[in-house]
Amino acid sequence: MSGTQGPLVEVERLVAEFDQADPPTLLDVRWRLVGPPGRDDYLAGHLPGAVFVDLDTALCGAPGAGGRHPLPDPAALEAALRAAGVRAGHPVVVYDGGDGMAAARAWWTLRWAGHRQVRLLHGGYPAWVGAGRPVSTDAPAPSPGDVVVRPGDLPVLDAGEAAALAAADDAVLLDVRAASRYRGEVEPIDPVAGHVPGAANLPSGEYVGPDGRFLAADVLSERFAAAGVTEGRAVGAYCGSGVTAAQAVLALHLAGRTDAALYVGSWSNWVADPARPVASGPTPGR
């Protein structure tokens, strides 16, 4: 479905699909960078039939030199997805707490893993509740899935490739963190402040609203073009640890740039090596 309908699904469309004989597999991926775990939210209430999948432990690898949310081990990811009932060739819908970041990383991870029929519930759990739809506290026990993880279906950047992209005249590397972090004025999480030399700043608020809903495709195209994403130029994105940047990649898909690459390790991987250069200030600083 994602190939023909796009990566987003609205509440009413999902309701209609639930009435089908074999509805989509529904994954609750609610997550916070800090604060109570998403599973607590899930246990308090979730979409009927949804299975909880943890972003930190199931959809990402262990934090380390590769970053705070590196790529998962393919075999471990396959086991986690099968345990959640994900089936080969069967549509999946992911949702989060409304900001769209964890769901976008889940969307990206499944797409990277070769599962193309995956969509994000636009607006997440708040959109579902706001539409007056029922919630459940029952945790389903899904039949094991048979999905096969085949990594590489979406492009990935390592640190060297990100640096090359940022330095190239025919490419653009987007840093989608807040402007103050990009400029190096503050860094609340990682040990070094600043940005990858040559990267252009496009904070996430430029392509997604405060309710987690993506802007219209024509507006997205304009915002990305203003940041240097133009025809013929390769594009990649990074953030702090590859979660918000996955949302940027989804937004780029909506704008027609399905070739957009994700620097999964992002800033948390870049600064793990003290030999890598760091730029500061409001300009790319090549």
Which residue is catalytic, options 239, 243, 245, 260? 239
In DSSP terms, 28 is beta-bridged to 52, 95
Which SS3 state, helix, strand or coil, does residue 247 take? Answer: helix
Which SS3 state, helix, strand or coil, does residue 77 take? Answer: helix
In DSSP terms, 201 is beta-bridged to 175
Which SS3 state, helix, strand or coil, does residue 63 take? Answer: coil
Q: Which residue bears the tokens 């009932």?
A: 85
**Separation CA 201–CA 245 (nearest Å):** 12
Q: Which helix (H) or strand (E) holds 13?
A: helix 11-18
If one counts every other C-beta atom within 10 angstroms of the C-beta of residue 174, the result is: 29
**Separation CA 284–CA 74 (nearest Å):** 35
Q: Amino acid letter at 167? A: A
Q: Amino acid letter at 186? A: V
Q: What are phi and psi of 17, to 5 degrees?
A: -70, -30
Which SS3 state, helix, strand or coil, does residue 25 take? Answer: strand
Q: Which helix (H) or strand (E) holds 120?
A: strand 118-121
In DSSP terms, 156 is beta-bridged to 262
60 is catalytic: no
**Separation CA 149–CA 88 (nearest Å):** 9
Tell me how far apart the terminal alpha carbons of the chain are, to the nearest angstrom. Answer: 41
Catalytic residue numbers read 239
